[in-house]
Amino acid sequence: MCLDPNQVEKSNNDRQKECRGLTCVTRLCDHEKTEFEEAIDYIQDILSDYIAKNKLHELIELRNKDHIHATLIGMESEKCQSETGEKIINKNQKDRSKTEGGEPQPYDLGEIVRYFKAVPFPIKIRIGGINKKIVNPFDLDRPPFKRTFSIRPNGQMVVIGFPVDFQPLLAGIRTGFEKVNIVHKYHIKRRGVATPFDNDAFIVVGDVTTEYKYLNKIENDNFCKILEEIKLQIRNQLAKNQYRFQISQYDCMLFPYKKTTLEEQIMKEVPISKLTPNNLQKLLIACL
């Protein structure tokens, strides 16, 4: 496997800098232990063992469990001027309009709240229980076994949870948000006439640090071999162990962050079960 030093450095810088925004996420439950938390504990324990055994404390940093999350939809926004005054628009919709044309449309807060309330909670997610023979019928090009755990070129250590039976629930929900002028991050670019398809519960559990760039060739080769071992070990262990959890309207929340890691927040988060046009407006304005 190969890390890209420039991407690793950018990823680390992005984690550290202030970057205000609003996102809809599910986090580890703070009042009871769920299989989501059990899965994260299991994976981070394996990582911790490798870190200790190979003295990698300066090269690998585990994410704080209190801030580990899976994103349902990002709502990063900005102000714009219209004929009727100042409006709030979705940044991803604006980015799509640059390549596809058209004007980004302002939010209708009432419609957004109604869409959130109509999301078919609870959404059942599984992590693991996927061996090399299993095929995702909705994503034939990418073997799900390889996707259960990966180490990205930017050094992010990523766990992927899938809706049970790979049903395209998350992809459908995210595409549906476009009806209320919210475009999902991984749906900005549309490949020809094909519909973008992100059905993943994307969970970052650790990172390669910027110390990586100081390794010499022999050290780098050895480190990459260890990363490959980690990747295969976690995939194989997850194939034997399945964790199932539900995303509900009570633990899925709009989170106003100062950092994309969710380590700092601007104001108190709001669960979907308590979302109203009024508190949604307050969240959006606080994050501009």
Residues 196, 184 contacting (CB under 8 angstroms): yes
| pLDDT at position 31 over 70 | no
Closest CA to 286 of 268, 261, 260: 268
Distance of CA 32 to the CA centre of its chain: 22
| Predicted confidence band of residue 2 (pLDDT cuts 50, 70, 90) | confident
196 cis-preceded (ω within 30 degrees of 0): no
3-state secondary structure at position 229: helix
**In 98-191, beta strands by DSSP E:** 123-128, 149-151, 156-163
User: pLDDT, tens digit, for every residue of 167-194?
Assistant: 999 999 999 999 999 999 999 876 554 5
Through-space distance between the first and last CA atoms of the chain, rounded to whole angstroms: 39
Closest CA to 42 of 65, 25, 66, 19: 65
DSSP 25-85: EEE--SSS--HHHHHHHHHHHHHHHHHHHHT-TTTEEEPPGGG-EEEEEE--EEEEEETTE
Share of the chain above pLDDT 70, in %: 97
Span 212-226, average pLDDT? 95
Return the pLDDT at 193: 47
Bridge partner list, 72: none
Residue 171 tokens read as: 């992809």
277-287 and 109-118 helices, crossing angle to 10°:
110
User: pLDDT, tens digit, for every residue of 191-214?
Assistant: 554 567 899 999 999 999 999 999
**Ramachandran area for residue 162 (φ above 0: left; ψ -120 to 50: alpha; else beta):** beta
User: pLDDT, tens digit, for every residue of 97-136?
Assistant: 998 888 899 999 999 999 999 999 999 999 999 999 999 9
Span 237-244, average pLDDT? 97
Tell me how far apart the alpha carbons of residues 56 and 50 are, in angstroms, rounded to a whole number: 8
User: pLDDT, tens digit, for every residue of 45-93?
Assistant: 999 999 999 999 999 999 999 999 999 999 999 999 877 788 999 999 9
Return the pLDDT at 99: 87
The per-residue pLDDT of the chain, averaged, comes to 94
Q: Is the dihedral of CA 203, 209, 215, 219 positive or negative?
A: negative
